[in-house]
């Protein structure tokens, strides 16, 4: 046997799958069940998980896209997508250079970033009242 007779398979590191998709989907289901029962929202930080590009894409395909999507411009752009499972949201935040700074699965009626803050509502009320008085 020579060196040329040895089969070699080259795998790219970003295609490496550590098999976490089934476990991650089970965790999402558990969190959704808990949210339905108690109203307790939850987040899964995808950037903290050891997922390769192939696994990341498998998760995207498994969760799919639902009826609601929103784009937000704050410090940088954010993309909020309801998955095909209501109450399960994929929330991605980018910096101004376009790099992903946070990538989350959020279990909630509505992602927290889309809810109005009390101080913002108070300021809005003041502006509305001033507009009415004109």
| CATH number assigned to the domain covering 13-133 | 3.30.1370.140
Handedness of CA 64, 108, 32, 103 (dihedral sign): positive
Widest CA span in the chain: 92
More confident residue, 17 or 108: 108
Contacts of 25 (CB under 8 A, 6+ apart): 59, 62
Boundaries of every domain in the chain? 13-133
pLDDT at 80 (0 to 100): 96
pTM: 0.79
Model confidence over 76-134: pLDDT tens digits? 899 999 999 999 999 999 998 889 999 999 999 999 888 888 999 999 999 999 999 98
């Amino acid at each position: 046997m020579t060196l040329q007779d040895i089969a070699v398979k080259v795998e790219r590191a970003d295609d490496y799958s550590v098999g976490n998709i089934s476990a991650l989907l089970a965790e999402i289901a558990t969190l959704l069940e808990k949210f339905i029962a108690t109203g307790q929202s939850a987040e899964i930080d995808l950037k903290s998980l050891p997922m390769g590009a192939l696994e990341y894409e498998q998760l995207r395909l498994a969760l799919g896209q639902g009826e609601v999507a929103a784009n937000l411009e704050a410090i940088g752009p954010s993309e909020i997508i309801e998955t095909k499972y209501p109450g399960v949201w994929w929330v991605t935040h980018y910096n101004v250079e376009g790099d992903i700074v946070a990538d989350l699965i959020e279990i909630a009626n509505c992602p927290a970033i889309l809810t109005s803050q009390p101080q913002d509502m108070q300021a809005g009320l003041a502006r509305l009242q001033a507009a009415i008085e004109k």
